[in-house]
Amino acid sequence: MKTIALDAAAMARAVASGEVSARELLDASLARIESTDGRVNAFTDKTQARARVEADAVDARRAASQPLGPLAGVPYAVKNLFDIEGVVTLAGSIVNRGDPAAASDAFLVRQMKAAGAVLVGGLNMDEYAYGFTTENTHYGPCRNPHDLTRIAGGSSGGSGAAVAAGQVPITLGSDTNGSIRVPASLCGVWGLKPTFGRLSRRGTYPFVHSIDHLGPLADSLAGLALAYDALQGPDALDPGCQALRVQPVVPLLGRGTAGLRIGVLGGYFQDNIAPAAREVVALAASTLGAHAEVSWPDAALARAAAFIVTASEGGSLHLNELRTCADDFEPLSVDRFIAGALQPVDWYLRAQRFRRVYRDKVNALFRDWDVLLAAATPVSAPVIGTEWLDINGTQQACRPSLGLLTQPVSFAGCPVVTAPLWPSGTGGLPVGVQLIAAPWREDLAFRAAQILSDAGVARVQPVQF
C-alpha cells in the first residue's frame, strides 16, 4: 500500500493530480480504522460498502476527465446524530436503536458528497449530545489517541478522536455548548463552530434547537477551510439556516493579520484556567501580536443561562421517553434531562430574554476588535472517570467544567476556530485556543488561525500506536 499524506488538503490535491486514487485513500483509511479503533473507540458505524461506491465514482470521474469536487476522494466520518441513508441515527443512545433507518442523508452529508468526499461511518458521542466527555455508557468511552487513559472530550468525542488518530482527516460534529471546541482542544485537532444559523441542521438529531451548531474538525487548517466551504449553502427547508449565500474562506487564507485588531479575553477567561491553558493563550497572543486585555460581558451569567436553556429544551425534547423508558438513558445525563423537564418555564423565558440583551453586548465588542483569544478548555484531557478538577486553585466538577470557556461564546452565536497548541507540563497533551470573531465573520478567525499554523505554533501532531 502506498504511503499517503494524512493532511486533508494534500489528499485532495493528490487525487486531482492522479498521484493517488480515491480507492487507495479509502483503503488506507479503513486499514487505519481497523488497526486502531479497538483502542480508540471512535466509530459506532462503518459504511464500507457505500464508501467504496463513492470512491470508485470519484476515480471514474477523474478517468473520464470530468471535473472533481474540492474534497474528491477525501475520507470523512460524521457524529452519529447525522442522518446517513440506510443507517439508524443513534445520537449516542440505545433508545433510538429501534428507530427506522434514515431515508436520506443529512443536508451537510449531501454537501460533502457533492464535494467528492467519501463517507466511512458514524462516530461515538455523548448520548443526545448532553456531555463534554464522551464517556458513553452504552457504546463505551471514546479514548484520547494521545493517551488512551484519557477522555477525548465531548459531545463530539468520536469526531475529535478519529482525526487525531489519523483514521480520517475530516469529521463533522455538533456544538451546542462547546461540543466541537472541547474535543478539538483535548485531541489536538482543528475545529470550527460557525456562526449560529450559518449551516443547515436538516437531517440531524437535535439537542437544543435554539443553540445547536454544526461544523467540521480536521487535521489541518487548510482541510478545515475546504470542509467549511463545501458545507456552506442556503437551505430553504431549514428555517434555522440564515445564510443566504456562500462566503468562501479558502481564497482568504494567507492574507496575514495586517489590519486585524486582536485582543485577549481577560477576567472570567483568565480566572477559570489552569497553567497549561494560560500558557497556550500567551503563546498564541505573542504570535499574533495581541497584547490588549478585553473584558467579555456577563460571561458567568451567560453560562448559567445556557445551562437553563439547554436543560429545558433537552428535557422537553425527550419528555415522552423520560416517562416511558428512563432506565434506558445514559446514567451520566438522565437526571439532568429530568431536572430540565421540571424547570419552571419562567426560568427559560428569562434566560432567553437575557440572551437577546447579552448578544447585543457581545456584538458591541467587535466594533473595536476583529478577533478575540481565549483558551478552549481550562485544562488538558482528564483521565476517564475523573469527577473533580483543580482549576486555578478551586475544585470544580469535571464534566460540566470542561465547557466553562466555550458556553458563553456559543450562547452569543459567534464563530470560533479552535487551534491546537501544545503546552509544557501536560505530558504531551494539547490544549486548544479559541479564535472568536463577530457573527458571520468566520473569515477573520481563519485569517488569525493561518498565522498560528504558518508559524508552527498550532498544528496537529501524528499519533503512533
Domain boundaries, the chain: 8-454
pLDDT band, residue 256 (cuts 50/70/90): confident
- pLDDT tens digit sequence for 151-177: 999 999 999 999 999 999 999 999 999
Q: Is the pLDDT of residue 5 over 60?
A: no
**Mean pLDDT score of the chain, rounded to an integer?**
96
Query: Which of these is catalytic: 21, 29, 79, 380?
Result: 79
Q: Among residues of the chain, what percentage have pLDDT more than 70? A: 99
- Cα separation, 26 vs 17, whole angstroms: 17
As a whole number of angstroms, the distance between CA 318 and CA 314 comes to 7
How many angstroms separate the first and last alpha carbons of the chain?
Answer: 18
Strands 170-175, 75-79: parallel, antiparallel or unpaired by DSSP? parallel
* 340 pLDDT more than 90: yes
Q: What is the mean pLDDT of residues 442-463?
A: 97
Buried (b) or exposed (e) across 356-388, using 16+ Cβ within 10 A? eebbeebeebbeebbbbbbbbbbbbbbebebee
List C-alpha distances in Å: 107 to 129, 201, 268, 388, 406: 19, 7, 37, 39, 26
What average pLDDT score do residues 44-73 get? 98
Model confidence at 2: pLDDT above 60: no
Is 155 marked active-site? yes
d(CA 295, CA 196): 22
pLDDT at 267 over 50: yes
What residues have CB less than 8 Å from 215, skipping those under 6 apart?
A: 172, 173, 174, 175, 180, 191, 192, 193, 194, 199, 228, 231
Q: Is 159 helix (H, G, I), strand (E, B) or coil?
A: helix
87-99 core/surface letters (b: 16 or more CB in 10 A; e: else): bbbbbbbbbbeee
Mean pLDDT of 332-359: 97
Pick the CATH number of 8-454 from 1.20.990.10, 3.90.1300.10, 3.40.50.300, 3.30.1360.120: 3.90.1300.10
Grid look-up 487513559 returns 149
Model pLDDT for residues 115-127, shown as the tens digit of each residue: 999 999 999 999 9
pLDDT in tens, 308-338: 999 999 999 999 999 999 999 999 999 999 9
Report which of residues 133 and 256 the model is more confident about: 133
Work out whether strand 262-265 and strand 293-294 pair parallel, antiparallel, or are unpaired.
parallel
Distance (Å, rounded) from C-alpha 213 to C-alpha 171? 14
Task: Give 1's pLDDT tier (boundaries 50, 70, 90).
Answer: very low
Question: 341 to each of 25, 138, 272, 324, 386, how far by Cα in Å?
Answer: 46, 23, 29, 14, 27
Residue 3: is its pLDDT beyond 80? Answer: no
pLDDT band at 465 (very low <50, low <70, confident <90, very high): confident
Q: Which of 93, 155, 220, 410 is catalytic?
A: 155
Q: How far is CA 156 from CA 140, 187, 232, 290, 315, in A?
A: 14, 11, 20, 30, 20
Band (pLDDT 50/70/90 cuts) for residue 259 is confident
How much is the pLDDT for 300? 98
Rounded CA-CA distance 241/244 in Å is: 8
Over the range 324-352, which residues count as b (16 or more CB within 10 Å of their CB) and which as e? eeeeebbebbbebbbebbebeeeebeebe
Q: Is 179 in the active site?
A: yes
Q: Which of 179, 312, 380, 401 is catalytic?
A: 179
| For the chain, the helix, strand and coil percentages under 3-state DSSP, each to the nearest 5 | 40, 15, 45
